[in-house]
Amino acid sequence: MEQKNGTLLEIHDLSVSFRMYDYDEFRHNDIRRRLKQTDLQVISDLHLIVNPGEIVAVAGSSGSGKSLLASAILGILPDNATVRGHLHYKGEEMTAARQRQLRGTEIALVPQSVAFLDPLMKVGAQVDGHRRPRQTERRKSLFQRFGLPDKTPQLYPFQLSGGMARRVLVSTALISEAQLIIADEPTPGMSLNQALEALRLFREMADEGKAVILITHDIDLAIEFADRVAVFYAGTTVETAFASDFKSGPDALRHPYSKALWNALPQNGFLPIEGFQPYAGNLPGGCLFAPRCPYKTPQCIAEIPPIREVRGGEVRCQHEMNF
């Protein structure tokens, strides 16, 4: 797990769990219902490397803990969360103090929806942020470039249309000099044109040498605009492939889940995958995909496979059959 030079963000073996208090109401009918303390693991052994100048898509179905990844990188998980593993930004270990320095300056988040804006604060003041001096000029030029109406800064979040809200949210990230932008599901609710516009914007930023992590459940979109795609399953990245691998077809992909995902795309036959994604709290012991994997062996169930480099990508699978 040695450092690679020049990477912007490296995540090794990141695990996030939540401490929960469970009532177990249905299991114990008697008066001595136990207040059970459990640890819910939502991200396990996640591996991700982001280089300057690229868009990395983190793609997976909903409920797989993708949004928590953003919180973990920024260090804004709730108090009952425990984080293990290593985060490096520009080769430097990210401590809580470092994360505090980085957020809003070097790393910026583009949130999911207008709910992430203060409902009682005008949009202009919100985009400007709390830092002084106010970046009012920069905000004006950004709004102009996005074609936002002149009155936009005076509006409250609820008065924004879906497309306007999206552009405002993206502006909050662009107004900072952030090198790394984490966009959490930036496209739902947008028209196709708006979505393309937003993604073009990210492309532009990446071309300027910044990096974008695009968290999405839309594989097509990820393939189209990202350089690399990290396939996210049950709280971990099972494979990191080049976007072009998805275009070439299942043989270029490295993990059974990625292949299954490819087959499930509408243009590739719409084949559904059997079974369900396991939920945090009852994750299988070995490979997280093993219960649904057509190639599973006793070894898959027994232990978590290590990360391996295969054809320039990374995969967490021990099978040799395809490679």
Partner 1 sequence: MKGQHRFINRRTKVVIWTVILAIVLIFVYMFGILIPDEAVAGSFLNAKLPPSWEHFFGTDALGRDLFMRTLKGLSVSMTVGIAASLIGAVIAVFVGIVAATGSQYADAFVNWIIDLVMSVPHTILIILISFAFGRGLKGLLIGIAATHWCSLARLIRGEVLQLRAEQYVAVSRKLGKSGGWVLMHHLLPHLVPQFFVGLILMFPHAILHEASISFLGFGLPPEQPAIGIILSESMRYLSTGMWWSAVLPGLVLVMIVLLVDRMGEYLRAIIDPYSAQQ
Partner 2 sequence: MNEALKRIVRVFFTYSVRTISLLLAVSAISFVLVNASPINPVQQYIIGFGTAVSPQQRAEIEDYWGVNEPPIERYFSWLSEVLHGNLGESALYRRPVAAVIGERFWNSLALMLCAWLLSGVIGFGLGCVMGMYQDRWADKIIKKCCYILSSVPTFWLGLVFLLVFSVWLKWFPIGFSAPIGVRGEDVTFGQRLYHLILPAFTLSLASFSNIALHTRQKLIDVFNSEYVLFARARGEGKWTILCRHGLRNILFPALTLQFASFAELFGGSVMAENVFSYPGLGSAVSAAGLNGDVPLLLGITLFSALFVSAGNMIANLLYGVINPQVRAFAEAGRNGGFV
Which one, 82 or 248, has the nearer CB to partner 1? 82
Residue type, 242: F
Out of 33, 88, 122, 138, which residue is the one contacting partner 1 (CB under 8 A)? 33
Which one, 143 or 262, has the nearer CB to partner 2? 143
Which one, 35 or 192, has the nearer CB to partner 1? 35
| CB-facing half-sphere around the CA of 14: CA atoms within 13 A | 27
Q: Are 172 and 110 in contact (CB under 8 A)?
A: yes
Residue type, 267: Q
Who contacts 210 (Cβ-Cβ below 8 Å, separation ≥6)?
52, 53, 178, 179, 180, 181
In angstroms, the CA 261 to CA 249 distance is 11
DSSP of 191-246: -HHHHHHHHHHHHHHHHTT-EEEEEES-HHHHHHH-SEEEEEETTEEEEEEEHHHH
Which one, 27 or 100, has the nearer CB to partner 2? 100
260: which 2 tokens? Answer: 């299954």
In angstroms, the CA 116 to CA 165 distance is 10
Who contacts 81 (Cβ-Cβ below 8 Å, separation ≥6)?
16, 17, 18, 19
Tokens 């898509």 sit at which residue?
57
Span from 26-34, 59-67, 194-202, 279-287 in contact with partner 1 (CB under 8 A): 26-34
Out of 29, 32, 266, 321, which residue is the one contacting partner 1 (CB under 8 A)? 32
Applying CB under 8 A, does 37 fall inside the site for partner 1?
yes
* Partner that binds at residue 103, options partner 1, partner 2, none, CB closer than 5 to 8 Å by kind: partner 2
Out of 5, 6, 35, 115, which residue is the one contacting partner 1 (CB under 8 A)? 35
Q: Is 320 exposed, middle or buried (0-12, 13-18, 19+ CB in 10 A)?
A: exposed
Which one, 104 or 305, has the nearer CB to partner 2? 104
- Chain positions contacting partner 2, by CB under 8 A: 62-63, 65-68, 70-71, 74, 76, 100-101, 103-105, 108-109, 111-121, 129-131, 156-159, 172, 176, 188-189
Minimum gap (Å) between residue 68 Cβ and partner 1: 22
Q: How many residues bind partner 1 (CB under 8 A)?
A: 9
Applying CB under 8 A, does 82 fall inside the site for partner 1?
no
* Partner that binds at residue 274, options partner 2, partner 1, none, CB closer than 5 to 8 Å by kind: none
Out of 1, 31, 96, 97, which residue is the one contacting partner 1 (CB under 8 A)? 31
Applying CB under 8 A, does 18 fall inside the site for partner 1?
no
Binding interface with partner 1 (CB under 8 A): 23, 31-35, 37-39
